[in-house]
Structure 1
Amino acid sequence: MGGELRALLWLAGPLVGANLLQMGVAGVDVIFVARLGTVEFAAATLGVFMFNVIMFALIGLTSAAAPIIAAELGRRAHAVREVRRSFRMALWLAILGALPFLIVLAHGETLLLAAGQDPAVARRAGAFLDITLFALVPGIAAAVMRTTAAALGRPGWAFLVTGLALLTAILGNWCLVFGNAGFPALGLEGSGIATVVTMTVMMLCYVAILLRDRGLRRYRLFGRWWRTEWPRFFEIVRLGVPIALTWTFEGALFGGAAILMGLIGVAEVAAHAIALNIAAVAFQVPFGVAQAATIRVGMAYGARDHLWISRAGRVALIVGIGFMVVTATSIWTLPRLFISAYIDADAPANAVVVGLALQYLAVAALFQLVDGAQAVAAGILRGVQDTRIPMLIAAFGYWVIGFGTAILLGFTFGLQGVGIWLGLGAGLLAVSALLLWRWSARGRLGLLPN
């Protein structure tokens, strides 16, 4: 147990740090553009949301390379050729998978108008997306390289590169949005250019790392990059599509909750955004643990070691849920402190929003444990290359149980925002319980290697 715990924490620590920094990278554009006015702020918010939803789904698609590479290393410690094939096909998938979505982003204004958004906001968001779409391929390619480096035992690079990306995003927005340091003031378009530069810098950094790092260059990951390995390509697709849909189902649930909040009032939307951001920061820890657990369980799966699989999964669940006990206690006992990081909690003008956010955080504190459990359970199931049924569980739990309960409690029973958050908790509880049952029954369900 002790050795497995050390191995998991050594992998998870940098990944957790990188996930937290990535949240900063994703939010920098909106923070800087907020000073340009209401229309520009709304346009940046919508544009960044569309871009991030697509990129996150595509990262989920290509992340299937992690359990495959881990299994190859579990079968044979020096599986150079097999690892190279998986990396190459994941990179191919990143590029080919992004192409249709480049067309989607290029028609961002049309889609936002069809969704009933303000024409002025839709036009500015479309102009932002016309630039930002060029960041999609380098962003996903960088994610493939990050996943591969972590699976090959170099997770620390993820933290360093993401930290550099955050600094690049801040500097790029500072220079190009407001025209500092001799650059032209390009406003919203400048923020889009900064995003492209940031993602390109990340990709180039990972290319240099994979070529120069002593532990990684022996795999010659870019060797024969033109060769196809269609069986491996479709294996990644088979595992990756359910992962992408699972992540999309969960993200869309919270987006749908925001829409329901909008039917109640503006203060409810603001309070929901604050509470959700606080919960999202806490979630990055079990999410990072889940990423590391996929690799550890994947290696055990490749080695066909049932005891190792069990031990790796058990340690990951203990760590993920254990941390969420800490966050749940913190959110429950110090909610105003967390709210103060977003707005002045003592200002009379914010009293209604703060009061609502306190109610939502009380519910969030209660479902922290099941949120951590479902994240880690999904990660260890990915390690045994089980993704299709967890996807169906996510669809049922989040949208039938979660969204259905949110509507029922929020509107039919009149609990409003609190009812919507209780619905979110019910969805997470259902998914967590079903995934944990599936993990406990892995032997009977035939999920273990022969």
Structure 2
Amino acid sequence: MSDQITAAPSVAAETISSRASWIAELRATFTLAWPLVIAQLAQNALHTTDVILLGWLGSSYLAAGTLAVTFLMPFLVGGVGLVGAVAPLVAQARGSRDIKAVRRIVRQGCWAAIALAMVLVPIVLQIRPIFGLLGQDPAATLMAETFIQIAAWSLFPALGIIAFRSLLSAFDATRAILIITVLGVLLNAAIAYVLIFGHFGIPRLELRGAAIATLVTNIAMFLMMVGYVLRHRRLKRFHVLARFWKPDWFRFREIFRIGTPIGLTVLAEVGLFTAAALLMGRLGTDEVAAHAIALQCASMAFMVPLGLGIAATVRVGTAYGRSDPEGVRKAGWTAFVLGTGFMALTCTLFLTMGPSIVTLFLDPHVPENANALALAATFLVVAGVFQLVDGAQVTAAHALRGLSDTKIPMVLAIFGYWAVGLPIAYILGFVVGWRGVGIWIGLAAGLAFVAVVLVTRFALRERLGLMRAR
């Protein structure tokens, strides 16, 4: 009897302790993630600013700028994915309290950024022959080339930013990332406005002005991040630039081993949406416009689970580094619940207010917009369901990255996007005749497949040997 009396308070105490630890994890994840979410939204605003300003010059400038940015983006996002491997590696080093490893990982992350940019910039500069092979309009190609000739060099600071941003994320300094990104948006808008239109006695540079603004802004953001790391009391002890020339080939290879699958996964996802846009182009102008509206809405909502996913990489990686399986479990599932919970809200918003949302993009009083608005509202219904699986797959993928598990998730993601999503989109869109709705259902199906397999993989992480000793 006495054993039962003493056991009951013990069980209650364990329950309270477990609940408190989940709440603490929730608080830690949210604190880490919210500046990253806003920073991701601000990062989008960098390109949006250029698009708006170039649109003021005229449709030909807007088209050329859009072509140039569309061409540059796959190289940038692939590089960002690769150098982003610094984040889980630094988080794991932090968890194991290995200060020397932190310095070496960040240093080799900078090396990787430089090496990758040296490979990518010469390719990006070949925009004219590449666009010629793709049958793009020669006049638009020449205008786009004037932008790329300058903007291509922004790959060096842009990829360097990722190495230092990974360090800041791993040590919970995400507010600094937010402040630097917002300052970058403001700086880019000011420089672009002055240079594009030629104010204050400066020559009117048009597309070249936008490109110079992009390059200068990325250099300024990189220098701000480096300065913050070198001066911050918690981070300067790592001496990340000490003996910068000294190689650490093991960690250099490790960044490419973990980061290459991440970069290829991101490229596969970007490629899927590019292919969907091309399929929409076969249906008509209204379908393309409606697709762009629905995709913009989905992309804005996606920034929240993406920020939570980056936080999950750090939280899972830190727990993994200190050999804490329970910490890994709580960090991964907390980010998953927060991400899918937010997407459930946007799903409800898209399902109930879709017709009102799309009028923010096209004037409903113009008769020519009626069909595009109706299509966009319909696409948003599918995008609502799409939100749930998109939030699940991105948080699961980032949680697995915290365990340095990237190769198998890459294979699963590419299969889901290209062997499941795209064929279903084509069959439903063109064979069955559901047109744009069928294409969006295909996108949702591909993401749903990836979400299921990646969430399952995280759930079975110990059985699959992902929690083996580092």
Alpha-carbon distance between aligned partners in 2 of 1:181 and 1:320, rounded to the nearest angstrom: 46
Equivalence for 1:71: 92
Q: Give how far 1:347 is off.
A: 2.8
Equivalence for 1:361: 380
Equivalence for 2:270: 251
Q: Give how far 1:183 is off.
A: 2.0
Write out aligned runs for 1:13-412 (5 A).
13-76=34-97, 79-412=98-431
Q: Structure 1: where are the runs of 5+ without partners?
A: none
Alpha-carbon distance between aligned partners in 2 of 1:4 and 1:135, rounded to the nearest angstrom: 37
CA shift digits 1:331-382 (9 cap, x unpaired): 1111233323322234322111111101111100011111000000001000
Equivalence for 1:6: 27
Alpha-carbon distance between aligned partners in 2 of 1:153 and 1:224, rounded to the nearest angstrom: 25
CA shift digits 1:92-139 (9 cap, x unpaired): 000101111111111111111111110101111112101111211011
Question: Which one-letter code corresponds to 1:317 in the other structure?
Answer: F
Indicate the percent of aligned positions where both proteins have the same amino acid: 42
CA shift digits 1:169-188 (9 cap, x unpaired): 11111101111233221111
Q: Give how far 1:14 is off.
A: 0.6
SS at match of 2:181: helix
Equivalence for 2:463: 444
Moved more, 177-186 or 248-257: 177-186
Question: Which one-letter code corresponds to 1:386 in the other structure?
Answer: D
CA shift digits 1:402-426 (9 cap, x unpaired): 0010000000001111100000000
Do 1:402 and 1:425's aligned partners in 2 also have CA atoms closer than 8 Å?
A: yes
CA shift digits 1:65-98 (9 cap, x unpaired): 111111111112xx22110000000010001011
Q: Give how far 1:231 is off.
A: 0.2
Alpha-carbon distance between aligned partners in 1 of 2:73 and 2:433, rounded to the nearest angstrom: 33
Do 2:325 and 2:467's aligned partners in 1 also have CA atoms closer than 8 Å?
A: yes
Alpha-carbon distance between aligned partners in 2 of 1:215 and 1:303, rounded to the nearest angstrom: 19
Alpha-carbon distance between aligned partners in 2 of 1:147 and 1:209, rounded to the nearest angstrom: 13
- If the length of structure 1 is used for normalisation, what is the TM-score? 0.98
Alpha-carbon distance between aligned partners in 2 of 1:202 and 1:193, rounded to the nearest angstrom: 14
Do 1:301 and 1:383's aligned partners in 2 also have CA atoms closer than 8 Å?
A: yes
Do 2:109 and 2:163's aligned partners in 1 also have CA atoms closer than 8 Å?
A: yes
- If the length of structure 2 is used for normalisation, what is the TM-score? 0.94
Alpha-carbon distance between aligned partners in 2 of 1:110 and 1:293, rounded to the nearest angstrom: 41
Q: Give how far 1:35 is off.
A: 2.2
Equivalence for 1:425: 444
Do 1:39 and 1:120's aligned partners in 2 also have CA atoms closer than 8 Å?
A: no
SS at match of 1:367: helix
Runs of 4 or more, structure 1, over 3 Å off, are none
Q: Give how far 1:449 is off.
A: 2.5
Do 1:336 and 1:345's aligned partners in 2 also have CA atoms closer than 8 Å?
A: no
Moved more, 51-60 or 406-415: 51-60
Note the aligned Cα RMSD (angstroms). Answer: 1.0
Alpha-carbon distance between aligned partners in 1 of 2:299 and 2:191, rounded to the nearest angstrom: 25
Question: Which one-letter code corresponds to 1:24 in the other structure?
Answer: A
Q: Give how far 1:39 is off.
A: 2.2
Do 1:289 and 1:376's aligned partners in 2 also have CA atoms closer than 8 Å?
A: yes
* Structure with bigger gyration radius: 2
Q: Give how far 1:391 is off.
A: 0.3
Do 1:89 and 1:233's aligned partners in 2 also have CA atoms closer than 8 Å?
A: yes
Alpha-carbon distance between aligned partners in 1 of 2:386 and 2:365, rounded to the nearest angstrom: 27
Equivalence for 1:415: 434
Q: Structure 2: where are the runs of 5+ without partners?
A: 1-21
Alpha-carbon distance between aligned partners in 2 of 1:283 and 1:306, rounded to the nearest angstrom: 28
Q: Give how far 1:48 is off.
A: 0.8
SS at match of 2:405: coil
Q: Give how far 1:55 is off.
A: 1.0
Do 2:383 and 2:440's aligned partners in 1 also have CA atoms closer than 8 Å?
A: yes
Question: Which one-letter code corresponds to 2:54 in the other structure?
Answer: V
